[in-house]
Structure 1
Amino acid sequence: MSSTVIIANPVSGRRRAGLAQAPAEQVRAVVAGAQGACDLAYTKGPADAERLVREYVTGEGGRVRRVIACGGDGTIQQVARALAELSPSLGADAPALGVIPAGRCNDLARALRIPLDVTLAARVLTAGREAALDLAAVNGRTYCTVATMGFDAAVSRFVDRMRMPLKGTPAYLYGALRVLARYHAPHMTLEGDFGRRQGRIFMISTANTSSYGGAIPIAPDARPDDGVLDICIIEHRPLPEIVATLISAVRGRHAGRRGVELLRTRELRIQTDRACELWADGESIAEAPATIRVLPAAIRVVLPE
């Protein structure tokens, strides 16, 4: 077994499997050319990335120094989750996470300033530095970027189901337009280091990184290495105000608008008056009631110099 393993999703970004394998092969060629042999394994179904990480890291073929996730934010989430669960027992021998963005939105790569071009991202793996990375967990399930509930979760659900050739922010904006007219904001109770908030909440985002939906800066000051979560709460308001706030949010200019509150906390507890999903890293991850916690320095990640 080589010291570097690539875990790749062959259908990230909803591409046909035969076409989606090219990025992972390209990454293997770059890494192998600089560091020697590099293993490559493709996922075959949901949660398969976690299984592959455990098999490689705990196997008897020698120490794995880096596990590279090649795919969308969901694939990267699975690899990061498995590494976070294994890291406490491995200590200094725990592998670092490498990120190759190959999905719809690639929000973690953007937050870490990893190039979206596959070749340039692969070069980061050969010449980059390792640093600690915070993760977060909702009801015990780990995520990397932003967990959303309310309107933006409803949009995520719509975008996930739609069959259109849209990616990133255009897909989110199209989904927002389709969902907005029929969306009804739930009543929520929110508790954290900031105290308590109650009322009809249009949407709430709990951010480990600053953006989601392909570079929408919902929590502009969020950093994945500061040991806290940034919270963006948008209250229920009349439709014209909501539309104006959403337009501002896409540009990262929503701070200070009426009905918008940006907070920080190490833990957030959410209760709702009806069933509500939470989405994170492009996937449905939990339902309310929910407890979200930051996981400081949960894993190490390879970053550009």
Structure 2
Amino acid sequence: MTVRRSDCDCVVILHNPKAGRWPADKKVRRLVSALNERGYSVRVSQNLGEAVELANREFEAGRLKCLIGAGGDGTAGELINRVVPGLPLSFFPTGTSNLVASYFGFSRKPAKAVETLTHGEPIAIDAEMANGRLFLVMLSCGFDAAAVEMVHRRRMEGHRGGRGGFATFIGPICHLIGAYPFPEMSVEVWNGRDGSDGISAHPQANPSATIAAKWVFVFNVPRYGWGLPIAPEASATDGALDLCTYRGGGFWKGLWYTLTTQFQLHRRLRDFQHLRGRRFRVTAEAPVPYQLDGDPAGYLPVEVEVAPHRVHILVPKPVARRLASTAAGN
């Protein structure tokens, strides 16, 4: 049995040195110094396996206050897939998009990060699972996933020193505008209904709906890498996922969808559809990539489902109250 104590003083930090546009070594050192000043015993590692093993061991022994992921959304994704159930996580954003950090209120400032660790509140949040892999923010299939895949490949080849940044997407997007074929995808929905309705308590043997689309997004939280408010009502505490699809293909359709979505007019489009559900399966006859939280994850088919209350994080009190209010409203 896991021992839980209020006086746990061990903090483990996984520092991803490749996250973000610029090195974050100085920020991480300031974070460590601030934690030491508060009396925490801090261990820092740049090795994912080592950091997770240490955190899991300290948690089972009842000594762990928190495991902090110093990196971006990819770092968060790696941690939630490796830690033991119930282990408390926090994040110190040093990545490019930092979608997880922006939604859950994690600060880039060491002093505020320590304040959250000391006075924050633990909450259990939903995660998404795609073909068995957990992630926190969103899945998308098609054009933007192809751009993510191309950027990742360039990083692996050493482009920009292996670092990210929004500027790295310009070239791939320009290339794909004229080359991407926009193949049609089919989305099977289980427990899917109009967003104004509830979610059925029991899964069905057969899908309740099947949708044809050329852009597919599944959200756990209302964040997207380009800042587009595609699913502003998505919540990580409602036990459901938000599926958003656009039916048209091609550059001009994509530009139109981007503009209407930016001004939150996309709900008026006849070729936009929003459903809520617990499980979706996306397939295509042609090879179509999909991405999870800004990282390439493979090619269709993919089955994505909600994992309720799967991840435990320590967040600022105002964020905990907001999330609790959202959960109560559902």
| TM, length-normalised to structure 2 | 0.78
Stretches of structure 1 that go unaligned for 5 or more consecutive residues are 44-48, 88-93
* Structure 2 residue aligned with 1:81: 81
1:113 CA displacement: 2.5
Which SS does the other structure have where 2:55 is aligned? helix
CA, structure 1 residues 240+284, in 2 after alignment: closer, same or farther (shift >3 Å)? Answer: closer
Q: 1:256 & 1:74 partners in 2: Cα distance?
A: 33
Q: 1:116 & 1:214 partners in 2: Cα distance?
A: 20
Between 74-83 and 280-289, the greater mean CA deviation after superposition: 280-289
Quick check: 1:191 aligned with 2:188?
yes
1:5 CA displacement: 0.8
The answer to whether the Cα contact below 8 Å between 2:14 and 2:46 also exists between their aligned partners in 1 is yes
1:178 CA displacement: 4.1
Figure out how many residues of one structure are paired with residues of the other and give that number: 287
The answer to whether the Cα contact below 8 Å between 1:50 and 1:81 also exists between their aligned partners in 2 is no
Between 112-121 and 157-166, the greater mean CA deviation after superposition: 157-166
Which SS does the other structure have where 2:82 is aligned? helix
Between 62-71 and 237-246, the greater mean CA deviation after superposition: 237-246
Stretches of structure 2 that go unaligned for 5 or more consecutive residues are 1-7, 193-207, 318-330
Quick check: 1:8 aligned with 2:20?
no
CA, structure 1 residues 13+2, in 2 after alignment: closer, same or farther (shift >3 Å)? Answer: same
Note the alpha carbon deviations across 1:127-173, whole angstroms, 9 max, x for none: 221111111110001111111111120121233336468735x6556
1:237 CA displacement: 4.1
Residue type of the alignment partner of 2:165: K
CA, structure 1 residues 50+220, in 2 after alignment: closer, same or farther (shift >3 Å)? Answer: farther
Q: 1:1-305 counterparts in 2 under 5 A?
A: 3-15=10-22, 19-43=23-47, 49-58=48-57, 63-83=63-83, 86-87=84-85, 94-160=86-152, 161=154, 163=159, 167-168=165-166, 175-192=172-189, 193-194=191-192, 195-199=208-212, 201-213=213-225, 215-237=227-249, 239-305=251-317
Q: 2:150 & 2:267 partners in 1: Cα distance?
A: 26
1:239 CA displacement: 4.1
Which protein has the larger Cα radius of gyration, Structure 1 or Structure 2?
2
Residue type of the alignment partner of 1:32: N
CA, structure 1 residues 234+125, in 2 after alignment: closer, same or farther (shift >3 Å)? Answer: same
Which SS does the other structure have where 1:38 is aligned? strand
Q: 2:243 & 2:314 partners in 1: Cα distance?
A: 26
The answer to whether the Cα contact below 8 Å between 1:50 and 1:79 also exists between their aligned partners in 2 is no
